[in-house]
Amino acid sequence: MVHEYRDRVYIRKDIILKLYEHGEINQSKLMTICGLNNVKHKGILDDMVKKNLITRKEEPWGNKVIIKYAVSEKGRDILKQLLEPYEELFPRKESEDE
């Protein structure tokens, strides 16, 4: 089976879009809905937090800590300025009319 390669730029775009759609979600769920690997792609999340594109919050849950992410204001601004117009011009799926 041929695996489709996703550029790191598109991975970041997917993360911001999914967080925008779902609101604050935990790391495991975020990685699952974005089709990413927790170990392999954790650095991308850390980098996005460092660049203030997303926020990271730790919440105690029993004797564990749950990590939750959300889109920051800067991430929302970038989404509105760049990603939304791009998605409108070049949607991932062609409409059935075409």
Q: Let me know: does 68 contact 49? Beta carbons within 8 Å.
A: no
In a domain, 21, yes or no: yes
Nearest Cα to Cα of residue 45 among 64, 53, 25, 93: 53
In a domain, 2, yes or no: no
When divided into structural domains, the chain yields a total of 1
Phi, psi of 48 (to 5 degrees): -65, -35
Residue 71: Cβ-neighbour burial (10 angstroms; 0-12, 13-18, 19+)? buried
Tens of pLDDT, residue by residue over 36-81, are 988 889 999 999 999 999 999 999 989 999 999 999 999 999 888 8
In a domain, 3, yes or no: no
Q: Which residue has the higher pLDDT, 78 or 19?
A: 19
Range of the domain at 23: 8-89
Dihedral sign computed on CA atoms, order 89, 34, 43, 16 = positive
In a domain, 42, yes or no: yes
Residue 16: Cβ-neighbour burial (10 angstroms; 0-12, 13-18, 19+)? buried
In a domain, 17, yes or no: yes
In a domain, 96, yes or no: no
In a domain, 1, yes or no: no
| Distance between start and end Cα atoms, the chain | 29
What is the model's pTM? 0.76
Q: Taking the CB of residue 94, how many other CB atoms lie within 10 A of it? A: 7
CATH code, domain with 33: 1.10.10.10
In a domain, 97, yes or no: no
